[in-house]
A and B are shown apart, each in its own frame.
Chain A
Amino acid sequence: MKNIENKEGSETIESLPSSTKLAIELKNITKRFGHVVANSDVNLKVSTGTIHGIVGENGAGKSTLMNILFGLYKPDSGMIFLNGQAVDVNSPEKSIALGIGMVHQHFMLVPTFTVLENAMLGNEGSMFLQSGEEFVLDRLRGLSENYGLDVDFEAIISETPVGMQQRVEILKALNRGAKILILDEPTGVLTPQETIGLFDILRSLREQGVTIVLITHKLKEIMSITDTVSVMRGGKVVANFSTEKTSPEELAENMVGRKVLLSIKKPTLKVGNPVLEVKNVSHESKDGVNVLKDISFDLRQGEILGIAGVAGNGQSELLDILSGIETLQRGKITVNDKTILPYQDWNSKKAREFGVAHVPEDRHKRGLVLPFYNYENSILGYHRNEEYSSGFLMDKRKIFNFVDDLVENFDVRPRSSSISSSKLSGGNQQKLVLAREIESNPKILLVGQPTRGVDIGAIERIYEDLMKLKSKGTAILLVSVELDEIMSLSDRIIVMNQGSIVGETNSSDATELDLGKMMSGLEKV
């Protein structure tokens, strides 16, 4: 493994043209949380009218840095310069007044308000709403046309698609006079087409002199839209590049601190008999919404079936039903030749008995009991098994033997059985959950968002483990919103939109654009 710790300092800064005006300059920013140093002596320069990317793994300090710039956190030391002036950004109000706007990963919109009401929030224009509305609407229309921010001002936010909600966030920032726009993981919830639309908007903003800081973990996006990019690792900026002079491989290497393999070796394997058959499954949510409509598919031994789709199109509910968390309402499921009919006794316990293991989408809410120690979490769901108990008692020694091996074999760090799982990084938490489910020797593994909030090093490992499991003949159902992941891991891909299966393809034939079209419901295949 090549160590590239020495990438800091002057040699990389030169890639920035020194003559251009700097919109943002951060000097020696340090921020501690208790023992944790989130930002250590960070320097960052962003030129006016450029798009600057910040990449880094989870916990590298990207969000902390941006929250400092936006006035949410106060740095322990360091200086902030905006357009060459030293400023003291001590609150979001102050930073908005200084012309900084931020679009958070999770939108800060009032779901019951209209687009207009949301966009004018915090800058109503007048004491009386009506006259303010007319005034603001005029200005917003102007902005909207100028930058291609296409929105319907009358619509209620909760009824608009995510893409539009994001445009409203951008409008909101511009309405408050933002000249610097920070976007935190803006494409996580978008289809490929919507992402392209967003990037067009960002480009036109740049043309008109707006400075954009883009935080993302998707290297492809960095390559396609940014002018310059900074890589953060362990609270430090470890490298700065001009985008055209770097490559995804180089960025990844800097993010992780060693060489990483981004490609996956898929074992070639003849798929066997179907082990999971889903027939005409429909589901109605508690609010009476039809979240699944007539879903049917097969999953075979040794096969990875990917389910692609924008988040919230029924994938989560499908996983919940298959794993026994939700009751089956309509349709039929056959698991290892055992048939489950609607409203039959079907729960997570039974699912495990039938050989269905489940790595849930949300490891914090479901996969782990966070305050529990690793040894307690590593038997969650399997705690009734005889291997870990004698009678009604838990057998601590057997559990510890099992867990010590588990953290060793699956490289969970720190390698400790008696540390609270809440203290593990996202990647290690995910490794622990995956390890537990794989160790149960499942016939079928349901996996939801295996790499959400997981660092690259751990992603590599997780993919490896999944491939190993596949070559043992386990059938894997993979739900992910990361198209790349679906395309590189799966043998077969089905696409879901609004609760229905809108397409199926072999992964070898799939292209991102085709899948994107299906995901947005534009095209049936």
Chain B
Amino acid sequence: MSDSNIIPKWLSVGLIPLMNLFLAFCVSGLFILFIGENPFRAISVMIKGAFYYPGAIGYTLYYTTNFIFTGLAVALAFHARLFNIGGEGQAYVGGLGVGLVCLVFDQHVVGFLVTILAILGSVIFGAIWGIIPGYLQAKRGSHIVITTIMFNFIAAALMVYLLVNVIIEPGQMSPETRDFASGVGLVQIHILAKYLGLDIAMSPLNLSFIVALTVSVGFWFLVWRTKFGYEVRSLGHSETAAIYAGIKVSSTIIIVMAISGGLAGLVAINELLGVHNKLLLGFTAGYGFTGIAVALMGRNHPFGIFLASLLFGALYQGGTELDFEFSSITREMVLLIQGLIILFSGALAYMLNPLVERAYLKYYGNYSSA
């Protein structure tokens, strides 16, 4: 991934992503038109659904939280030129960490402490699920893309096995653990607001959002202000130069994958400690995969990732509303729109660059060279 040297930064990181987004919406509009609905009405429903209705913003930010975690996970690996496709599995296994800590301790230890331990559990379990592919890449040369994809499947199978056979609540049919004890979990923002005398609509938004923002700042600090971040970026740009500089390539890869997996694992705190209050099957719902698009669109910078996460959060939430409002627009249609956005701003992220470069040079290029 290389950004253009020709055009100024505000064009390449500001205008072009917006143009990509606009294109995606245009094509989505055509599909909506095709099934006989008014695309402008659809978009207004979507925007209202994401930002206007009571609780809408809370829901949007709740989804945003997940995307920040997975987006940062993918981005950190990108900085070391590793393509971590395994965010989904790492988040899932992170959930196992949360679940195990809560199930083991919540009867004996004070809730606050259990919550802290559970957060650590999500990070550590996610990290382990990142370390293994990292180790295989660093020491055995197994390509990280292949191994992380495989580890998603392994994670899914492992969780099904555990939830159906081992940690399922005895005497019930659905593959879930029992509820965590009261006092364990991250407070939802609307409840917190009530303590402060504010009345905001109910939503699943919880303290994980604050954790996500803190982690974003920490991410920036780690990548651009620490020696380790410097080594990671050196390695990402040029492995040969990194070796020349005495940077240990394999251990750097493994540590990066550990942190990346840990970041993805944090999805579990939002979902399990913040909302469901138990470990259940399939709670990751594709957030790990969408994180790839988020990182790509956010250009691997925490601020960009925040914006991209907000966009995808709004899409998820607005999309649900779209599904409610129109009988002809189904869940699948919403997925199609999300898919188009990922396509245009992820896979085709650089499609418009040559066009913009030419236009830029035409209007500005000749002045400076004259």
Q: Which residues from chain A sit less than 8 Å from chain B, CB to CB?
A: 32, 34-37, 323-325, 347-352, 358, 360, 362, 365-372, 376, 380-381, 383-384, 389, 392-394, 396, 422-423
Contacts and interface: CB of A to CB of B under 8 A. Distances in A.
A34 B246 contact: no
Contact of B237 (A347, A358, A362, A371): A371
B31 interface: no
B107 interface: no
Contact of B365 (A34, A384, A392, A394): A34
B367 to A, nearest CB: 10
Interface residues of B toward A: which range?
A: 20 to 34
B245 interface: yes
A349 B245 CA distance: 7
B369 interface: yes
Contact of B246 (A32, A349, A360, A371): A349
A35 B244 contact: no
Interface of B: 2, 5-6, 225-228, 230-231, 233-234, 237-238, 240-246, 248, 361, 365, 368-369
Contacts of A350: 246
A366 B227 contact: no
Contacts of B226: 392-394
A380 B234 contact: yes
B98 to A, nearest CB: 28
B227 A348 contact: no
Contact of A383 (B240, B243, B245): B245
In the A-B complex, the 8 residue pairs with the closest CB atoms? A349-B246, A348-B246, A381-B245, A366-B244, A365-B240, A369-B237, A369-B241, A380-B245
16 contacts: A34-B369, A36-B369, A347-B248, A367-B244, A369-B233, A369-B242, A370-B237, A370-B238, A376-B230, A381-B244, A383-B227, A383-B231, A392-B226, A392-B228, A394-B230, A396-B225
B243 A348 contact: yes
Given A376-B230, A380-B234, A394 B244 contact: no
Contacts, number: 78
A325 B227 contact: no
A325 B244 contact: yes
Contacts of B225: 393-394, 396
Given A324-B246, A384-B227, A32 B241 contact: no
Given A324-B246, A347-B246, A380 B241 contact: yes
A372 B368 CA distance: 25
Nearest to A358: B244
Given A34-B6, A392-B228, A394-B225, A348 B244 contact: yes
Contacts of B231: 383
A234 to B, nearest CB: 13
Given A325-B243, A348-B246, A380-B245, A369 B227 contact: no
A393 B227 contact: yes
Contacts of B6: 34
Given A380-B234, A394-B225, A366 B241 contact: yes
A37 B368 CA distance: 11
Nearest to B367: A35
Nearest to A326: B243
Contacts of B228: 392
